[in-house]
Structure 1
Amino acid sequence: MNADSKQPADVRKQASSLCVAAVQMVSTPRVEENLQTAAERIAEAVLQGAELVALPEYFAIMGMSDGDKVRVREQDGCGPIQDFLATSARQHGIWLIGGSLPLCADSPDKVLNTSVAYNPQGQRVARYDKIHLFGFRQGAEAYDESATIQAGRQPVSFDMPFGRVGLSICYDLRFPELYRALGVTELLLVPAAFTETTGRAHWEILLRARAIENQCYVLAVAQGGRHENGRETHGNSMLIDPWGEILDRKSKGPGVVVGKLEQDRLAAVRANLPALKHRVM
Structure 2
Amino acid sequence: MENPNYLNINNLKITVFQAYLFWENVDKNLQNISLRLSSGVKEKTDLIVLPEMFNTGFSMHAADLAEEMDGKTMTWMAAAAAKYDCVITGSLIIKEKGNYYNRMIWMLPTGEYQHYDKRHLFGMGEEDKTYTAGKDKVVVELKGWKIRLAVCYDLRFPVWLRNNDSAYDILLIIASWPDKRIPHWKVLIPARAIENQSYVIAVNRVGHDGNEVYHSGHSMCIDAYGNTVYYKPEDEDLYTFSINYEELVKIRRSFPFLKDADNFSLTN
Do they fold alike, i.e. is TM over 0.5?
A: yes
Q: Which amino acid aligns with 1:122?
A: G
**Alignment match of 2:95 (pick from 73, 82, 104):** 104
Is structure 2 residue 205 aligned with structure 1 residue 223?
A: yes
Tell me, what secondary structure is at the counterpart of 1:194? coil
Give the TM-score normalised by the residue count of structure 1: 0.85
Rounded to whole Å, the distance in 2 between the matches of 1:207 and 1:49 is: 27
- Structure 2 gaps of 5+ residues are 264-268
Counterpart contact for 1:21–1:259, Cα < 8 Å = yes
Alpha-carbon distance, 1:153 to partner: 0.9
Alpha-carbon distance, 1:185 to partner: 1.0
Rounded to whole Å, the distance in 1 between the matches of 2:171 and 2:138 is: 11
Alpha-carbon distance, 1:15 to partner: 2.9
Alpha-carbon distance, 1:230 to partner: 1.2
* Aligned residue in 2 for 1:130: 118
Give the TM-score normalised by the residue count of structure 2: 0.89
Rounded to whole Å, the distance in 1 between the matches of 2:167 and 2:38 is: 31
Counterpart contact for 1:211–1:243, Cα < 8 Å = yes
* Aligned residue in 1 for 2:80: 88
- Structure 1 gaps of 5+ residues are 1-10, 137-142
Alpha-carbon distance, 1:232 to partner: 0.9
Tell me, what secondary structure is at the counterpart of 1:207? helix
The residue correspondences of 1:154-193 to structure 2 (distance < 5 A) are 154-180=136-162, 183-193=166-176
Count of aligned positions: 258
**Which one is further off, 85-94 or 251-260?**
251-260
Q: How large is the Cα RMSD of the aligned pairs?
A: 2.2
Q: Which amino acid aligns with 2:116?
A: Y
The residue correspondences of 1:6-85 to structure 2 (distance < 5 A) are 14-28=8-22, 29-44=24-39, 46-62=41-57, 66-67=60-61, 69-76=62-69, 78-85=70-77
Any idea what the Cα deviations from partners look like across 1:188-239, whole Å, max 9, x if unmatched?
110000111222x200111111111111111111012223441212311111
Rounded to whole Å, the distance in 2 between the matches of 1:87 and 1:168 is: 23
Alpha-carbon distance, 1:105 to partner: 4.4
Counterpart contact for 1:95–1:117, Cα < 8 Å = yes
Percent of residue pairs identical: 30
* Aligned residue in 2 for 1:118: 107
Q: Which amino acid aligns with 1:275?
A: F
